[in-house]
Every structure is written in structure tokens, then in C-alpha cells.
Amino acid sequence: MTTAVVTIAAGRHDHLRAQEAGLRSGTAQPDVRVIVAMGDPDVPGATVVVPADGALPLARARNVGARLALDAGAEVLVFLDVDCIPAPNLVASYTEHVRDGVVLCGPVTYLPRGADPGRLAELVNPHAARPNPPAGQVERGENWDLFWSLSFAVTATTWTDLGGFCEDYEGYGGEDTDFGWTARERGAHLHWLGGAHAFHQWHPVSSPPVERLDDIVVNARVFHRRWGRWPMTGWLTAFAERGLVEWDPDGGTLERRRRA
């Protein structure tokens, strides 16, 4: 199987370098490597630069990366967030276990600030909200809301059947859940693969992510239009409590509150 690893990036150059080092030290190397820069021509090793006017085109960049990988003959697509360092077996494990009709996700550990990349095996602590099967075992999932694009794999056939990420989403928020719901609607299965660890490098975050408020409001409306329900409800609730948005979950309205 010809395997491609696809990463999208804007900034985070040091994180990307750490990811590259992790891939080089893997038990199996990707046959195809695609790095899509979003409006940042200085991304190290970028395969292509996608224009970014305003909100980062996350969904479109992933689709561009997938298309380049498929054009290069990839039969398996592994998507890895720029912040993630792969475990040495990640590429080999995904390639071994992925199947047509399946979206395959491995566990992700959020690293503390200052974590030593040379000691990742000692720092395994997967995100508690998602399944973490024993190493080498596959567990079927039912909750597509848990899908995230930090680390996942699909076959080329599955990617083509699903049609990629919806490009109505621009910027942060909603596109992952939309991809999961699209996969469910088209009959795909969500599987969780034990032992295919990815390690998310530390960077500053806020909770709720107020710096992404505008993106989240716009993308939440897109999701509601497409699926008839609201995504990211925890964040929307927090924004409403802070007076940042006017949100009527039952009435179907969400507006950014402008300061006087």
C-alpha cells in the first residue's frame, strides 16, 4: 500500500520540524509527503501554498493536500495536524489496519509545556473523551461527534466516496464534525486504533477560544444550515454567557454581538 501523510500549516514552523523528525524516525516512512501551507510561503518543505485571505482555509487545504497525494499514487491518506508528533509506529499501524469504508482514528496525547520530544513513550496520556483501545486493537465507534482531524487515516477509495471536507467552512470550527456526519450519512464506519499515538505539542490556548469567535459563529451557522442542529454547543454557550453572541438554540439564530 502506498501511504501519504498530509499536513496543513500556517506558522508553527518548529512544530512542523518536530513532526518531520518524528516521521523520519518511524518504523515505516510515508511513500508520499504533502505539506500544504495556508498563506505562509515560509512553511518548511511546503509542497504547495494555498492563498489565505482572512480566515484560514482549513477544509480546502486538506482537500488540496489529498488531491496532490492521490495524484502521486497514494492508496492510503494519513492526515496529521501540524502540532502532532507521530509515534514511531503510527504510519505503519494506520497502513496495516485501514480498510475501505472506514475512518480510522488513533489516540492523541496533549503534551505539557516543555515536554521532551525524546521521551514521548513515557508521556502517553490519551485524551480521555475518546476511545483508547489496547495497542494494535481496533474498536468500532458510534459517536461521530468524536471524530477529529488531528490524526486519522482513510483509503483513497473512502476519501473519494466521502468527497473530502466541505469547503463552505472557512477558518476554525465545525468542519471536523461535518466530515464525520457526512461519513456517517454515506455509510462509513468510525474505528479507533489502539497504539497509533500522536502527541500534540503545547501551544497557548484559551477556553472558550474567543480569538476564533468570528470563525466559530460563521461555521456554526453553516453546520446548522446543513444538518439542522448546532455544533460546538459548549463554546456557543460560553460565548453567550460572556455576552459575545446572541444565540437562540431552538429558534435557529446565532449572531455576533457587536460592542457599542
At 51-93, the pLDDT tens digits run 998 899 999 999 999 999 999 999 999 999 999 999 999 999 9
pLDDT at 257: 87
Number of other CB atoms surrounding residue 207 within 10 Å? 8
pLDDT at 91: 98
Asked whether residue 247 carries a pLDDT value surpassing 50, the answer given is yes
pLDDT at 260: 47
Maximum CA pair distance of the chain?
Answer: 58
CATH, domain 3-200, list 3.40.50.300, 3.90.550.10, 3.10.450.40, 3.30.230.10: 3.90.550.10
Instruction: Look at residues 74, 107, 61, 69 and name the one whose alpha carbon lies nearest to residue 1.
Output: 74
pTM value is 0.96
At 207-241, the pLDDT tens digits run 899 999 999 999 999 999 999 999 999 999 999 99
Give start-end residues of each CATH 3.90.550.10 domain in the chain. Answer: 3-200
